[in-house]
Amino acid sequence: MGRVQNKVVIITGGSTGIGQAACHLLSKEGATIALVDINDSAGKETVKYIQDHGGNAEYWNMDVTDESTIEKVFKEIEQKFSRINVLVNNAGFIGSNKPTHEMSETEWDKVMNINAKGTFFCTKHVIPYLKKSDGGSIINISSIHGLIGSPDYPANHASKGAIRLMSKTDAMIYAKDKIRVNSIHPGYINTPNLGESPQKSNASPTDPRTAFDNLQPLGHIGDANDIAYGILYLASDESKFVTASELVIDGGIYGGRVFD
């Protein structure tokens, strides 16, 4: 019996990085995976890998900024798997690393639309299905930069702060429906979305990986599975008394306030 046996889990942005690791891990623990992304080739490969290893998964092309497609795809997922139990709002885009006064409206809107509005749209359209399933779990991937500032990526950090508070508000609104809503706050994780090394690093700028590693109290950045295990816990019934919480998985950066 897996830790999320028989749960139907939608993972946005599951084609690569943290989302892909979550697809693999939750599938190994018995979940049926609905992988939604705009990266079709990597998404289909991820699904094939899961199916080849005895898991149950399907891929849908779904842009989290396109509300009508989300509505249509969630309906198809419910028709295919007969229920929906968990939504992982993971799709994200870090955007340009420019100071606020150099950022265009277009650059700002793209990041806010994918990260914040995408989380809103997917939450909005999954709620009726979770109510039908007599409850469920929504897991929103924020960032340590939804908790503390740093001198870079202003739109990304604003969107991650918004996701943190959306999670708490939705947790309060839907507690009576037995729908739990929590945010996860990753530190620096080795994925395609990692971004440039923080300005406060004292390592060589020509070696960004070392610069990142040196910034971590634990001495190295995280990998996608470190976050996937947090997603697994919040998706499972092991966390049945956990809602409106913030799960920080960051190698100690937030606890040590490295950016203070």
* Residues at the site binding ligand NAD, with contacts judged by CB under 6 A: 12-13, 15-19, 37-39, 63-65, 90-93, 114, 141, 143, 186, 188-189, 191-194
Q: Cβ 42 to ligand NAD, closest distance in Å?
A: 7
The strand pair at 8-12 and 86-89 is best described as parallel
d(CA 141, CA 86): 13
Q: Cβ 44 to ligand NAD, closest distance in Å?
A: 12
Q: Cβ 161 to ligand NAD, closest distance in Å?
A: 12
Numbers of helices and strands, H then E, in the chain: 9, 7
CA distance between the termini of the chain: 44
Nearer to ligand NAD, 64 or 171 (CB): 64
Nearer to ligand NAD, 37 or 78 (CB): 37
Neighbours of 47 (CB within 10 A): 23
Whether 62 and 111 have beta carbons less than 8 Å apart is answered as: no
Nearer to ligand NAD, 111 or 127 (CB): 111
Where are the alpha helices (H) located in the chain, listed in sequence order? 17-28, 40-52, 67-81, 105-112, 118-132, 154-174, 208-215, 224-235, 253-256
Nearer to ligand NAD, 70 or 130 (CB): 70
Nearer to ligand NAD, 177 or 252 (CB): 252
Q: Cβ 164 to ligand NAD, closest distance in Å?
A: 12
Q: Cβ 216 to ligand NAD, closest distance in Å?
A: 11
Least Cα distance to 246 among 140, 156, 93 occurs for 140
Sole residue written with tokens 């950016």:
259
Nearer to ligand NAD, 178 or 225 (CB): 225
Q: Cβ 138 to ligand NAD, closest distance in Å?
A: 14
Helix (H, G, I), strand (E, B) or coil at 8: strand
